[in-house]
Amino acid sequence: MTTDKLGIIVNGATGRMGYRQHLVRSLLALRDEGGIPLSDGTRRPIELYLVARNEERLRELAAKHDIEKFTTDLDVALADEDFPVYFDALITRLRVPAIRKAIAAGKAIYTEKPTAESYADALALAEEAEAAGVKNGVVHDKLYLPGLIKLRRLIESGFFGEILSVRGEFGYWVFEGDWQPAQRPSWNYRSEDGGGIVVDMFPHWNYVIENLFGEISSVYAETRTHIPERFDEAGKSYTATADDAAYAIFDLADGPIVQFNSSWTVRVNRDELVEIHVDGTHGSAVVGLFGAKVQPRNVTPKPTWNPDLRDDHDYSADWIEVPQNDAVDNGFKLQWIEFLRYVLDDGEHNYDFRSGAKGMLLAEAALESNASGRRVSLAEQAGEK
Ligand SMILES: NC(=O)c1ccc[n+]([C@@H]2O[C@H](COP(=O)([O-])OP(=O)(O)OC[C@H]3O[C@@H](n4cnc5c(N)ncnc54)[C@H](O)[C@@H]3O)[C@@H](O)[C@H]2O)c1
């Protein structure tokens, strides 16, 4: 295989996700390890081209991480034929036009989710990429997390018997931004800027659920904007127009009942910021980003309901920690390796723009369910577009 460097354009390199997860933890880590590990045991070196709107910040980042190329002009980067891969970590609202340019430039494209602000746009983008014959992929990072890898192993080993129900609890308190700065960007709380917890998290829930438990057939959701006023990065008050919490039930075509609470307005009383509780006929599991604990049916305690008597049984002590067994690398980096190997014709990558569009379909169906008060079928929602 060639030892030429594979050039990767990173757009939105200064953002929260673009910088931390994609640049530092994934691409710079890969570059410093010698490149993309290939199936023949060799490595293909990579070179990065940073794009963002703030030139000063770009210059700083490039110098700090020893990156030669950077620009504030996406067209300039896309015109560079030494960089055949485009990555997009822009704010969601800017994604479609940027990716359209990358398709026109014939780049292989990898992007943060969601791929677009609407299912119609996400589907159109998938069709355009396919028609142009460019390889494409969407971040599905949660599937690569140690806890979810353990959950997949439990499912594949038959641990649960028949899975009856799944309950997901995701969330934490995001500060309003007045007396303490908010820990998420303000656009997340403005629907006119592509914000909202449904649009942010349901694309994740879609691929997590469909890859682990089965295809989602319909959704019932209630969304709320619990905190109506927040304060932006400059400390200025703004009206929160987007949902900051969503309470949803997903029906699977052939599988368990799944419910997820997603909220930026809850205080954490869990081991991790997301927990998925799975109950099956033969055993149960509680899984987070990293940890997983199980309770098989043959060690299940036998509680009896008696409000007159204090129950001193320590229920949390009945669970067994699932061992890690193998070292697991950063989830974003693992998926980057898979995507880049696919670009180099050295393996498969299953999560393309179509898969991303399905995530947006679920988000739209959930918003429609909230607006109409009905359970919404995904097939029906897709048909309307
Ligand atoms: N996979 C995940 O777990 C995950 C988590 C959070 C966010 N995301 C997604 O990642 C993307 C980026 O989110 P983020 O939280 O990093 O956002 P962010 O606001 O921190 O960064 C976004 C980037 O877009 C740039 N940008 C913003 N406005 C711009 C403008 N008007 N013109 C040009 N560039 C502009 C910013 O400079 C920055 O580089 C979003 O699509 C979001 O949905 C994914």
CA–CA separation, 252 vs 206, rounded Å?
A: 11
With left for phi above 0 and alpha for psi between -120 and 50, is residue 131 left, alpha or beta? alpha
Q: How far, in Å, from the CA of 379 to the mean position of ligand 1?
A: 30
**Residue type, position 176, single letter:** E
Structural domain boundaries of the chain? Answer: 6-141+331-352, 143-326+360-372
CATH fold for the domain made of 6-141+331-352: Rossmann fold (3.40.50)
* pLDDT tens for each residue of 177-190: 999 999 999 999 99
Answer whether residue 1 shows pLDDT above 50.
no
* pLDDT tens for each residue of 108-164: 999 999 999 899 999 999 999 999 999 999 999 999 999 999 999 999 999 999 999
Confidence of residue 326 (pLDDT cuts 50, 70, 90): confident
Q: How far, in Å, from the CA of 352 to the mean position of ligand 1?
A: 20
Residue 218 near ligand 1, beta carbon < 6 Å = no
Structure-token match 């959950």, residue found? 151
**CB distance 263 to 243 below 8 Å:** no
Element (DSSP H or E) covering residue 44: strand 43-44
* pLDDT tens for each residue of 191-229: 999 899 999 999 999 999 999 999 999 999 999 999 999
Ligand 1 test: best mutation among 22, 90, 170, most atoms within 8 Å of CB?
90
Q: Where are the alpha helices (DSSP H) in the chain?
A: 29-32, 55-64, 74-78, 95-104, 119-132, 146-156, 197-212, 331-343, 353-372, 378-383
Report the percentage of the chain scoring pLDDT > 70: 99
For the chain, what is the largest distance between any 2 Cα atoms, rounded to a whole number of angstroms?
75
Ligand 1 test: best mutation among 91, 121, 189, most atoms within 8 Å of CB?
91
Residue 18 near ligand 1, beta carbon < 6 Å = yes
Confidence of residue 359 (pLDDT cuts 50, 70, 90): very high
The pLDDT assigned to 384 comes to: 65
CA–CA separation, 87 vs 13, rounded Å?
A: 9
Residue 200 near ligand 1, beta carbon < 6 Å = yes
Ligand 1: nearest atom to the Cα of 93: 41
The pLDDT assigned to 276 comes to: 98
**Residue type, position 302, single letter:** K
Q: Which CATH class is domain 143-326+360-372?
A: alpha beta
What is the token pair recorded at 87? Answer: 């990555």
The pLDDT assigned to 263 comes to: 98
Residue 352 near ligand 1, beta carbon < 6 Å = no
Answer whether residue 385 shows pLDDT above 90.
no
Report the percentage of the chain scoring pLDDT > 90: 95
CA–CA separation, 20 vs 18, rounded Å?
A: 6
CA–CA separation, 66 vs 89, rounded Å?
A: 20
b/e 72-95 (16+ beta carbons within 10 angstroms → b): eebeebbeeeebbbbbbbbebeeb
* pLDDT tens for each residue of 7-46: 999 999 999 999 999 999 999 999 999 999 999 999 999 9
- What average pLDDT does range 171-175 have in this prediction? 98
